[in-house]
Structure 1
Amino acid sequence: MATSLPPEVIVGVLCRLTVKDLLRCRPVCRSWRSLIDGPDFIKLHLNHSMETSSNLGLILNSGDRELHCLDLDTLHPPLRLNYLPVVNDGDRIEILGCCNGVLALANASGLMALWNPSTRRYTKMSLSDVIESPSRAVFDFGAAGFGYDSVNDDYKLFRVFHLKDLGINRSLSEAKLYSVKAKAWKTVSDFPYHYYGYQRGNAVLANGALHWLVGEKPELDSLFSVVAFDLVSEQYCDIPLPGYKDKNFYANLGELGGWLSVTKSYNPVEIWVMKEYGCKGSWTMLFSVMPTYVTGPFNYAEPVAYLKSSDQVVLDLGGEKIALYDLEKKRIKTLSIFGVPKFVEARFCVQSLVGFDGEKATRKKKAGEDGNKVKKQKQQRGGKKRDDFLSKGFKLVL
């Protein structure tokens, strides 16, 4: 006699599966499909992955038109991410941000998309959705960031657009915010800051806010600070930096396990974290690292992710190697992974079911024989299933 499992047991089992396995489970029955597609289960699965440091990966951007994903669970060779949405039209792909498994992508033409590479669902936005362009105008893009507003349960994309009208020699700069829930852009307060040094203009997401390292002047040697844009209040605020004794260094922002972090370059490389958000006195040097016979030489070291279950930090060593730093043992080791491409940035990404009712990116089928071949194979499979049903005594009602 068949017995059914309690709902809480089914949920407990399913939330431990990978996204790939969950997508395979959806067709089992209507109740499973409804459960897996539900917002409560999507959040439960996401939280379980973050708490157990499972279903985690790194998105490696090679700086041209290719993205790869390195699975931190298996450490198999990185997979090239196919089925890229409309932003992959021959231009360089830029990652504006990553949050809860969703990438905010853009290209030089101004096309933008929010894409979940695990489910391949995406929603796209074009430049015409943001601002009406005069006939003779040149566009440039400034600060950008992507994150989640937990109070309003909304994903938001921030981007600064610079427009120069060649007809009347006039420049215009606007900060815009896209709400996934409202499916619309709106203008927010200007972003009157200069990016500091080599820090990219794309924000670091931490504590529900977007953060940029900015300077008083465009010059590299100017004094710098951190500015944050709160995704709930949609207002800017200043975040204090550690009180360094040495002022002669480069710095980059990051996020580790929910903490805002600052990487102080030059040997040794120091990684600092703000353990109490907004409190200058809570800045703590987590660890330092420098080239050794274990790591080999590297131009820079950037923390990418914190693995809570093992108390380890994933490091990007010069865009060529991935390393793990054990916070308890204070040891570093490089990961032997075959086929890691050279990359200009590594983004931490958790595999999730988060989506926005967008389109599904699929591989384009070849015309001609390939298309006919696929059609023929489907017909043969359908015929075989029909024969199997008839041989077992089932009636085929037409």
Structure 2
Amino acid sequence: MNSQCYSWITHLYSKLTRNDHDHDYYDDETSILLKKRPLLRSPKLTNNLICEDRPVILSYFFDERPLILRYFFPKYLRLFIIDGNSEKECNLKGVDSSESTNFVACIDGLVLLSSTNTVNNHTRYTIFNPLHNATITTVDSPVRIQAACGFFFHPLAKEYRILAVGDKNNGYYEYQIYSLKSKVWRKIANPNFSLRPRNCWKSEDLVDGDAAIVNGALHWYVGDDVAMVFDMISEEISLKFLPFKDQLRRLYHFNGFIRRKGEELCFCAVVYQEPGAIHVWGLQDYEKWRWSKKFVVDLMEYEYPLMEPCLMLVNIVSVVGFYKDEMVLFWRHRGLFLYNLESRSVQRIWNKKLRITRSRLPYYDQYCGFASYF
């Protein structure tokens, strides 16, 4: 009986997630999402993404592992979903995956991609559903060299919106919003601000779109012990200093990440000098901006073994996100790991190097990134 139910669920999932023109794209292996995550319901989305209730794209029982997106773009964008036991490439058929196409952000199972027209420098944004291998909609930007820095669901308007920033002019950046309801770009209430989220490593024209969304606001770490905040309702941008800046300065050299853990905002400082560690603070009181030290995650190299021998090690660790009581982190040359904050145990998440990337790019992980898909 159990085997019959399992076969039926697998068949149902393949029907839900497979496009008709993709019948030969998938093999007969068990879907990466169904082994321990039965699909509860399929979302009903219109192309303009206007919903009376916030849609739940990822309605799954997450009992053991989170879902993680891996994006890879040395020459063209490739997108993968990792469930901890396997990795499956998404079918980007119909999506511009040229060299100018980049991953921006994801929310509620939807991914925002951007691509630049090299002729007029205008940007096209694509909202894509990786689970269904489906393009939801495309959006063209009228502003030259505009970079998306946020993708969010507005709690009052009941729609998804894109936040983008233009070039610096007279010392200020201009911020605009695209509404999926009105299908127009407009300036935010107070559009000019002196800072923008940090540049991505790939291009000066790309900014960090992976904002941590908590309490109706988007949050980025912009360096110098400062968080940048965008309020969805008032459309105000502000800067907030991290009150534990003296502790951060004693860490000497670190990379900072602002991430969401449940409904709590967390700041993660990855320290590389021996012994390596990740220091984590949690925001206890949002209104008073009161933080407290939560965890210190040891980066003991023997617990994070190399994937293969490497001539030159680069100790670059990024915090992908939090899932329940676990931290998801990526360590270059070592792989993707789950760190249990209660038991302080480490577990590798299954991920592989594709043959095509290994042969062309020995240090391919410099060209890929990860994002929480949960």
**TM norm. shorter chain > 0.5:** yes
Count of residues paired in the alignment: 301
State the Cα distance separating 1:107 from its structure 2 match: 1.8
Task: Tell me which residue corresponds to 2:124.
Answer: 111
Task: Tell me which residue corresponds to 1:329.
Answer: 343
In 1: Cα distance, 2:12 partner to 2:73 partner: 27
TM-aligned CA distance change 1:149 to 1:303, over 3 Å: same
TM-aligned CA distance change 1:85 to 1:149, over 3 Å: farther
Task: Tell me which residue corresponds to 1:149.
Answer: 154
State the Cα distance separating 1:68 from its structure 2 match: 3.0
1:151 aligns to what SS in structure 2? coil
Q: Deviating runs (4+, > 6 A) in structure 1? A: 16-19, 39-42
Gaps of 5+ in 1: 1-15, 26-34, 132-138, 165-169, 216-222, 351-398
State the Cα distance separating 1:45 from its structure 2 match: 5.1
Please point out which of 183, 189, 192 is paired with 1:190: 192
- TM norm structure 2: 0.68
In 2: Cα distance, 1:19 partner to 1:190 partner: 49
2:16 aligns to what SS in structure 1? helix
Contact preservation (8 Å) 1:55, 1:71? no
Contact preservation (8 Å) 1:98, 1:349? yes
1:263 and 2:268 are equivalent in the alignment: yes
In 2: Cα distance, 1:143 partner to 1:333 partner: 34
**Match for 1:98: what amino acid?**
C
Contact preservation (8 Å) 2:43, 2:57? no
Task: Tell me which residue corresponds to 1:61.
Answer: 71
Cα deviations by residue, 1:28-74 (Å, 9 ceiling, x for unpaired) = xxxxxxx855479995755753x7458942111223323332332x5
Task: Tell me which residue corresponds to 1:124.
Answer: 138
In 2: Cα distance, 1:201 partner to 1:324 partner: 23
Cα deviations by residue, 1:242-284 (Å, 9 ceiling, x for unpaired) = 4142413332322233332222122222233324334433333
Contact preservation (8 Å) 1:203, 1:210? no
In 2: Cα distance, 1:19 partner to 1:192 partner: 51
Task: Tell me which residue corresponds to 2:300.
Answer: 291
Task: Tell me which residue corresponds to 1:204.
Answer: 211
Cα deviations by residue, 1:276-325 (Å, 9 ceiling, x for unpaired) = 334433333333231321203662322223222xx222111127510010
In 1: Cα distance, 2:335 partner to 2:174 partner: 38
In 1: Cα distance, 2:323 partner to 2:11 partner: 17
1:71 and 2:59 are equivalent in the alignment: no
In 2: Cα distance, 1:334 partner to 1:56 partner: 13
Gaps of 5+ in 2: 1-8, 19-40, 46-50, 118-122, 202-206, 307-313, 358-364
1:190 aligns to what SS in structure 2? strand
- Compare CA radii of gyration and give the structure with the larger one: 1
Q: Superposition RMSD on alpha carbons, in Å?
A: 3.7
**Match for 1:214: what amino acid?**
V
In 1: Cα distance, 2:343 partner to 2:116 partner: 44
State the Cα distance separating 1:333 from its structure 2 match: 2.5
Please point out which of 345, 350, 355 is paired with 2:369: 345
Task: Tell me which residue corresponds to 1:381.
Answer: none
Task: Tell me which residue corresponds to 2:323.
Answer: 307
Contact preservation (8 Å) 2:320, 2:328? yes
Please point out which of 263, 270, 276 is paired with 2:285: 276
Cα deviations by residue, 1:58-116 (Å, 9 ceiling, x for unpaired) = 111223323332332x521x22222254432x223222211101111102322211111
**Match for 1:236: what amino acid?**
I
In 2: Cα distance, 1:53 partner to 1:209 partner: 28
TM-aligned CA distance change 1:245 to 1:172, over 3 Å: closer
